[in-house]
Amino acid sequence: MNKPQIRFEGYEDEWKEKKLFEVATYKNGKAHERDINEKGKFIVVNSKFISTDGKVKKYSNKQNEPLYKNEITFVLSDVPNGKAIAKTFIIDESDKYTLNQRIAGIMPKYDINTKYLAITMNRNKYFLRFDDGVKQINLSLEDMKEYRNYYPSISEQNKIGAIFSKLDNLITLQEQKYTKLKNIKKALLYKMFPKANETKPQIRFEGFKNEWKDRTFGEVFNYERPDKYIIKSDKYIENAKTPVLTANKAFILGYTDEQNTYQTERESILFDDFTLDTKFIDFPYMLNSSALKILTIKNRNDDKLKFNYELLKLTKFNILGHARHYISVVQPTKVLTTTVEEQNKIGTVFSKLANLIELENKKYEKLKNIKNALLSKMFI
């Protein structure tokens, strides 16, 4: 039956299948390459603008193809496996935007809710099937004419649209909180550690005036090269608690319940030989790659470890030839560091910030998961 899993009370009728041109008017954008101007009046709606939800902007003094409030813009062209194709963006104000080529402008008819139509068209599997992973994707007028979907009454569309508008606003606000905290951390990293060719930071706790002194990371960290973990079963375990970590981009390969986790109580830093990247770890884990090295602090102290982790992240290493190992690259590197007391205070600041950032990120991810769950159950 043509009904979704979850509905508002009082709605029981089946949804009707309709083609795009039955529910909306359609137009193509026009070229703006020669009219781009940083001080232009109009925002050029191109694929980059839409794929970044309006964050990356170009401007034009010419409105070659005007857009109006509640019009939906839609990406028609993208590279193979691109993330922009079929993305939608709703215009919030008339006389503010101009439509670029290879972008469609779609205006819903009177009995179609804008938010509802934008959600159902956004990255719809009908459009994604034109991506073969090899050729440039170019959705034609005929492709758009053949697109069809299911629509309830305008009353039910309005309710669904309102739910997702509120959710998107909450997600945006939560993303802003998360981003703001990350920016605060960046600003503090810049000011609480000395700049190049200086021996004192811009911001310090009261009572600390001494110059920072040179030390090598070999003097700071204990270094361990763990044995590579080999899973005993033929697959990872669903709902297991111990992650198996690797040096590649996936980082977490899967989860296991096998015992003898490498680290159970102490916090540590994982150092990647290949990318020179580091991660701060405070949970039990297994290591799948010998390219990951375990760094722990000498004269153990949590806040001191966090201070030196941030110092490690800030340091640019001089890589000679093909050397990409802790012993040859990181261990002999000299850095400016301060007294244990000041390290602890700085480390405490960044530990608290890290916890706040993680908390706000979890809230952000939870809201996105709620949205995805509703998308799968409130539509056909």
264 pLDDT tier (thresholds 50, 70, 90): very low
- Helix then strand then coil, in percent of the chain rounded to 5, is 35, 20, 45
Q: Which of 64-78, 162-176, 290-304 shows the lowest per-residue confidence on average (mean pLDDT)?
A: 290-304
Domain ranges of the chain: 16-151, 153-196+339-380, 213-337
Contact 154, 111 (CB under 8 A): yes
Contact 103, 29 (CB under 8 A): yes
Q: Stretch 258-282: mean pLDDT, rounded? A: 74
Q: Stretch 199-214: mean pLDDT, rounded? A: 95
Q: Stretch 341-345: mean pLDDT, rounded? A: 94
Identify the top-confidence range among 42-51, 232-241, 295-304: 42-51
Looking at 3.40.50.2000, 3.40.50.720, 3.90.1150.10, 3.90.220.20, the CATH number of the domain 16-151 comes to 3.90.220.20
Q: Between residues 19 and 283, which one has the greater pLDDT?
A: 19
| pTM, 2 dp | 0.85
Q: Which architecture characterizes domain 153-196+339-380 according to CATH?
A: Orthogonal Bundle (1.10)
Cα(97)–Cα(240) distance, integer angstroms: 50
Q: According to DSSP H, which parts of 193-237 are helical?
A: 217-220
254 pLDDT tier (thresholds 50, 70, 90): confident
Looking at 3.90.950.20, 3.40.640.10, 3.90.220.20, 1.10.260.40, the CATH number of the domain 213-337 comes to 3.90.220.20
Domains 16-151 and 213-337 share a fold: yes
Residue 98 pLDDT > 90, yes or no?
A: yes
Q: Tens digit of pLDDT for each residue in 141-177?
A: 999 999 999 999 999 999 999 999 999 999 999 999 9
Q: Indicate the average pLDDT of the chain.
A: 91
Q: Transcribe 313-358 into DSSP letters.
A: HHPPP---TT---IIIIITT-EEEE--HHHHHHHHHHHHHHHHHHH
Residue 222 pLDDT > 80, yes or no?
A: yes
Cα(226)–Cα(335) distance, integer angstroms: 26
Contact 20, 118 (CB under 8 A): no
- Which 3 state secondary structure label does DSSP give 215? strand
Q: Transcribe 61-90 into DSSP letters.
A: S--SSB--TTPEEEE-EE-TT-S-TT-EEE
Residue 359 pLDDT > 80, yes or no?
A: yes
Distances (CA, A) of 21 to 50, 58, 353: 22, 30, 51
